[in-house]
Amino acid sequence: MPDVEFYATADNWPELTTSTDMPSFRARMINTMLRLTVKPLWRPGLTVDGIRRHTARTDARLSRRRVDCATEPVTIAGVPAKWYGAPDLAGRNGTLLYLHGGAWCVHLPGMYGAFAAKLSAATGMRVLLVDYRLAPEHPFPAAIDDCLAVYRALVAGPTGRPRVIAGDSAGGNLSLVTLMQARDAQLPLPECAVLLSPATDISMSGPSIRYNAKADPMFSAGAGDLLPDLYGPGLERTLPLISPLHGDWSGLPPLYFLAGSTEMLLDDSVRAHDRALQAGTSSRIDVWPDMPHVFPLFPMVPEAKQAIRDIVAFIEEHARDMAALPQSAEPHARLDPALVSGGTEAEPANRGVL
């Protein structure tokens, strides 16, 4: 890996104008940083310890701000987790269950904590971030068991089932598996789900795995060779509990997929969206041109701010009896692409809606 350190934060990026027909300046910088520091990681001989060392450094650099949000560490059904947002939010607006990404083998608590706090502020919901067990120390089915156990406990608890389930990458995978298992167990389901670049098919059969191999700024073929075997060693990769793309998509709540056009995992979202529609499940997908994997988690990127507003609008649409959202998160007043412009760097509305 090149000896490159990247210390930009949300506070010290320059404010530049940009056109909405291309990624913002900040997004292009993030893509360059990822191409220099992350994509070269996926080489023969890479170990999970190497992945964890790199992600720990990344987490430290991207989460230097203290979370400005009430938090509460808890253990639910034997699984550690943390609430973000004041307790009264759960009674007023409900809860959002968030399952973090990290290839089933790493967690970035600072980065995901900041994102959970942002989701709580934007939606007015109390957000639960689950610290499920990680592979390879705890391979499949440990993670799905933890997530379903937490979901069951929430359903049986004082606030009832979460109104929203959300997750990114591996956490998007776990969110979909949790939904399918909850449906099969006849548990009450959330009102909607948000999936950010979910890994829905670890058999790596999507065409974008090949045609985006060079364009993806974060991953290369080596990631597909290493990560699935860490999570489910020796298992059939099309097993629906590992690859929900191959599961039953009927009877699920409305789904919202967000992905970048250059991701190797793009077709994991596109094909999942198609499977949902074919099964009669309401689904929407936004594909953002040239945006990296799980870009809404990068706070310095203006496209991430717009994506969060889109997420809020989707949640509000499917949770109609929510109390009034915070003034800073009124999505419908600001979602018109014609309004997304200004003298500083624009927050592009250049995504494709399928």
Question: Among all chains, which residue has been given the structure tokens 């399918």?
Answer: 180
CATH of domain 25-353: 3.40.50.1820
- Residue partners of 158: CB distance under 8 A and separation at least 6: none
In degrees, rounded to 5, the angle at the alpha carbon of residue 141 between the alpha carbons of residues 283 and 79 is: 90
Q: What is residue 235's DSSP assignment?
A: S
Please give the C-alpha separations between residue 150 and each of 77, 99, 158, 185, 263, in angstroms, as whole numbers.
6, 11, 14, 14, 30
Q: What is residue 206's DSSP assignment?
A: S
Name the residue ranges covered by the structural domains of the chain.
Answer: 25-353
From first to last of its 354 residues, the chain has per-residue pLDDT tens of 333 333 333 343 333 333 345 799 999 999 999 999 889 888 877 888 988 998 898 888 877 777 889 999 999 999 999 999 999 999 999 999 999 999 999 999 999 999 999 999 999 999 999 999 999 999 999 999 999 999 999 999 998 999 999 999 999 999 999 999 999 999 999 999 999 999 999 999 999 999 999 999 998 887 777 777 889 999 999 999 999 999 999 999 999 999 999 999 999 999 999 999 999 999 999 999 999 999 999 988 999 999 999 999 999 999 865 544 443 333 332 222 322 223 333 444 455 655
The residues annotated with a catalytic role in the active site are 169, 263, 293
Tokens, residue 226: 């290493």
